[in-house]
Amino acid sequence: MNIIVCVKNVPFIQEVDLVLDASRHDIRKDNLTYVINEWDNYAIEEAIRIKERTGSNVTAVTLGKEADEDILRRCLAMGADQAVRIEPGAMQPDASMTAVILSALLKSMPHDLILTGVQSDDLNHGVVGIMMAERLGLAHAAVVSSLKPEDGKAQISIELEGGQEELSRILLPALLTIQTGINEPRYVSVMGIRRAAKKEIRVIKAQDLGIPSADLRPDLLIEETFLPPETGGAEILQGDISSISDQIIRIIREKGVGL
C-alpha cells in the first residue's frame, strides 16, 4: 500500500507571548521556534504503524521553505521511506491554495491512503485534507480516531461530540484527516534525525506543477488581526505561593465544598 502523509511546520505557541506584526495581519514569528503540527505528528505515526504491520511505503510531503525540511527529516527518522518538499517560491498560499497545490502533486503519485492532520495548530482552518479529497475524487472522512486498513477498505471511527464515535467502513483509495490521540507518537532522537539527514529530500517547485493561475487565488482576505477583547476575566489572586494557596482553599470552602 502507498501511503502519503501531508505535514506542516508551525510555530510553537504554548505558553508563549504572541505579538502582532507591523502589518497587523499576522503575528511576529521571527522569535518563535517551529515544530511539526501536532495533528500531523499523529498522522505520520499512524502511517508508520501501518507500514510496520503491512509493509507499506510511506511518503511525507510538505509545502514550505527550505527551513521546513526539518519536519520532513523528522518524518524520515520516524520511518517514512521518502520525503518531498514543494517550494512555494513567491506564492503565499492560504488553506484553499495549499489544497490546490498539494493535490496537483499528489495526483501524479501512487496513493491508496492519504493522511493529513485534522487541522493545523496555527490557523486551524481544518480544510486542506477534505478539499484535497474532493479535488482528487477520493472517499474521505474527517476527525478520524481509529483506523484499520484491510483488503481495499478501512474500518474507521470518527470522533463526534460528547464522547461518542461513529464507526464506518470506507473504500480505498481514501483521504482521512487524523485526530490527536489516535496513537502515541514515538520519540524521535537527535541521532535519528541526524541519520535521516543523509536521505535525499525531493524538491519540486509549485510553479512547475501546471496549476492554472485561476485556481491560485486566496479565499480569505485578512483585514485585521487583533488581541482578544479584555472583557471580564478572572480576578487574579495576589501574594506569594502560600498566600495564594490559602485564598484558593478559602474560595473553595466559600462555594460550599467541604475540604
Question: Which positions from 171 through 210 interact with other proteins, judged by CB under 8 A?
Answer: 171, 174, 177, 180-181, 184
DSSP SS3 for 34: strand
Distance CA 105, CA 248 (A): 56
Cell numbers for 53, please give them.
504491520
Structural contact between residues 121 and 10, judged by C-beta atoms closer than 8 angstroms: yes
Does position 212 interact with other proteins (CB under 8 A)? The reply is no
Least separation in angstroms between residue 33's CB and other proteins is 14
In angstroms, how far is the first alpha carbon of the chain from the final one?
58
- Each residue 214-233 as x (binds other proteins by CB under 8 A) or -, in order, gives ---xxxxxxxxxxxx-xxxx
Please report whether residue 163 would count as binding other proteins according to CB under 8 A: yes
Among 140, 147, 178, 206, binds other proteins (CB under 8 A): 140
Question: Rule CB under 8 A: is residue 152 a binding residue for other proteins?
Answer: no
**In terms of CB distance, is 198 or 255 closer to other proteins?**
255
Are the beta carbons of 236 and 120 closer than 8 angstroms?
A: no
CA distances from 125 to 118, 128, 165 (A): 9, 8, 22
Is 118 among the residues that bind other proteins (CB under 8 A)?
yes
Residue 37 and residue 9 in contact, taking contact as beta carbons nearer than 8 Å: yes
Per CB under 8 A, 134 contacts other proteins: yes
Cβ-based nearer residue to other proteins, 46 or 121: 121
The kind and range of the H/E element at 63 are strand 57-63
The verdict on 143 binding other proteins (CB under 8 A) reads yes
Stretch that binds other proteins, among 82-90, 107-115, 188-196, 238-246 (CB under 8 A): 238-246
> Residues 24-43 vs other proteins: string with x where CB under 8 A?
---x----------------
Question: How far apart, in whole angstroms, are the C-alpha atoms of residue 29 and residue 149?
Answer: 39
Counting contacts by CB under 8 A, is residue 115 touching other proteins?
no
Minimum CB separation of residue 251 from other proteins in Å reads: 6
58 and 51 Cβ atoms separated by less than 8 Å: yes
